[in-house]
Structure 1
């Protein structure tokens, strides 16, 4: 299942940085705002934004966050701000905001349903916060989703971390994100950390939730693009392919444009 295509790290880095700079110029934006989670995707995205030379605000937004996530986020913001003079950081503890919301709403039919709804709520509160900063700084919110998350399994929150202005790394797989992040010198604690959405207040990983690693999902995404069917695989490969197809099918509502009910002209 190992897939490592040829990858020109510096050329791809330069391409993304130029694309970001041109987009900001055309949008007449003064810079970028990036939510920093302590994970590799946000670390890479913020580093790419920083290279444009435009003001880049890195916002940490803990909500009952695992200490390891907070530590890595702070480490990255410190490293990036020391490397680039146009980078600044902001720490907005949203724990009390989330707690107050939680106290005001009813619970779901089961604890699992409630926990999942609250996890997505955390992400949406963070989205609101990022857009507040974008508003006061005339900046663009840069998304941190990679290709497998955004277009493979849809592993993100609709109108949460999926609510962004630009997606600079959404055409990079997780493997490619790691290669580029390592090329740019992102701190090792982030490079080796297990990917996690950090929405449950513990250290559960994305693999724990999905049932497959990103490397496995990249393979499944490639096989699906080749038109392969589940019946063509066996063992772990079949299991991974089926996991991928289930997430991909169930999360199409995130990946497709919002459905619009078109009114026949004869009714208008």
Structure 2
């Protein structure tokens, strides 16, 4: 199956989509508030918003957890785009919360991994509330497909410019926008166990992206296909509306 991605066309369309969304649903002084990690997704999403709304309407929020070894990438993005930014360290907040939780129960690994992401999202909404802002979701289709995000953490937001684009496509948009190579191609790492995202997943984004777009059915690696399908099924709840009881009438 042939699939062709036109980075110029898609970039222009997503920029216009953000511009139209704000014109329809916001005021001329509404800002886009985005968490800046220095990775490809936050870099490209911030660049898209700056192009759509103007750099003066984009606010970056750097949220290190204590000391962050690669925070220089976040500063590079802020400087490259010329956007306003705040640095709010969540280290003490995470530690205090986990300490209180530990008094009642033994924190699970899932709680330890997901809590910082949810505290970061609470921080973004606090900054948005103080700056007439809308929070930018920075997820992409590849990570969403296999659930590589935290529900009500980085999976949350008010609008999502990249969630229909695979990692491969996000990289092409970043290149088209002229972002520094070290931001677009920064190796994604979870910051917890020292492994890259791809090492944790057990397959590459290139393989996943081709599978999503129907370019490779992964028949040559059935165990990886099975794992991707299993992760997709198990994590669909992150992409769907919360189930609710509907009153019969």
TM-score (norm 2): 0.90
Q: Which residue of 2 aligns with 1:23?
A: 21
Counterpart residue number, 2:238: 254
Alpha carbons 1:9, 1:183 under 8 Å: kept: yes
The equivalent of 2:80 in structure 1 is 79
Match of 1:189 among 182, 192, 202: 182
The alignment of Structure 1 onto Structure 2 pairs a total of residues equal to 245
Partners of 1:254 and 1:108 lie apart in 2 by: 28
Runs of 4+ in 1 over 4 A off after TM superposition: 107-110
Partner SS state of residue 161, structure 2 = coil
Query: In the alignment, which residue of structure 2 is the partner of 1:149?
Result: 143
Question: Aligned-pair distance for 1:65?
Answer: 5.3
Segments of structure 2 that go 5 or more residues without pairing to the other structure are none
User: Against the structure 1 CA distance between its residues 107 and 62, is the aligned structure 2 distance closer, same or farther, given a 3 Å change threshold?
Assistant: same
Q: Deviations over 1:3-50 (max 9, x none)?
A: 994332222212111111111122224120111111101100000000
1:210 equivalent to 2:210? Answer: no
**Could you tell me which residue of structure 1 aligns to residue 61 of structure 2?**
59
Equivalent residue, structure 1, for 2:212:
221
**Mapped partners of 2:115, 2:190: distance in 1:** 13
The answer on whether the counterparts of 1:60 and 1:90 sit within 8 Å (CA) in structure 2 is yes
Residue of structure 2 equivalent to 1:84: none
Query: Which is worse superposed, 152-161 or 180-189?
Result: 180-189
Please provide the CA RMSD for this pair: 2.4
Cα deviations by residue, 1:45-84 (Å, 9 ceiling, x for unpaired): 000000123410011101145402x121111111111xxx
Q: Are 1:163 and 2:164 matched, yes or no?
A: no
- Structure 2 match to 1:140: 134
Per-residue CA shift, 1:117-144, capped at 9, x if unaligned?
A: 1211111001011111111111111111
1:177 to partner: Cα distance: 0.6
Q: TM-score, normalised by structure 1?
A: 0.84
Shift of 1:195: 1.7
